[in-house]
Amino acid sequence: MNLEDIVNITKSETDINMMSPLIWAYVGDAVYELYIRTHLVDTTNLKPNRLHIESIKYVKAKAQADILNKIYDNLTDEEKDIVRRTRNTENHHLPKNAELKDYMYATAFEGLIGYLFLTKQKERLKNILKIVIEDK
């Protein structure tokens, strides 16, 4: 069963483009977290506490900001625009355990992941997520 078998996105690409980039980041956060968790479950025999500790290495703001920095030059102009829009969206949430700059770039990374997921760009999403795993 694929995630697409469970999740049914009915909004048009036009509707998705009209959403706040923070909505893309909200979805991207969940998609990315699920990807990392299932990857760790699939490739390790760790107990839940260790899975959580290991997943933090991928999902903390600094790690996501670093990933975005690594892939940025390989993004399309449209993807760079998505990143820019998400990074520049005013967010009143201040990070507790991260530098503001890392938090902004992590949100931009999540925005890109969410946008690709919502617009059903599965192959591009897979390619970007594959880079995340290869990097660790």
What tens digit of pLDDT does each residue of 9-45 get? 889 999 999 999 999 999 999 999 999 999 999 999 9
Q: Which residues are designated catalytic? A: 29
Residues in contact with 132: Cβ distance below 8 Å, sequence separation at least 6, in sequence order = 35, 36, 58, 67
Nearest Cα to 109, choosing from 133, 93, 77, 85?
A: 85
- Considering the entire predicted model, what is its pTM? 0.92
21-43 and 77-88 helices cross at what angle (nearest 10)?
110
> For 21-43+53-135, which CATH class?
mainly alpha
For the segment 93-124, what is each residue's pLDDT rounded down to a tens digit?
A: 766 777 889 999 999 999 999 999 999 999 99
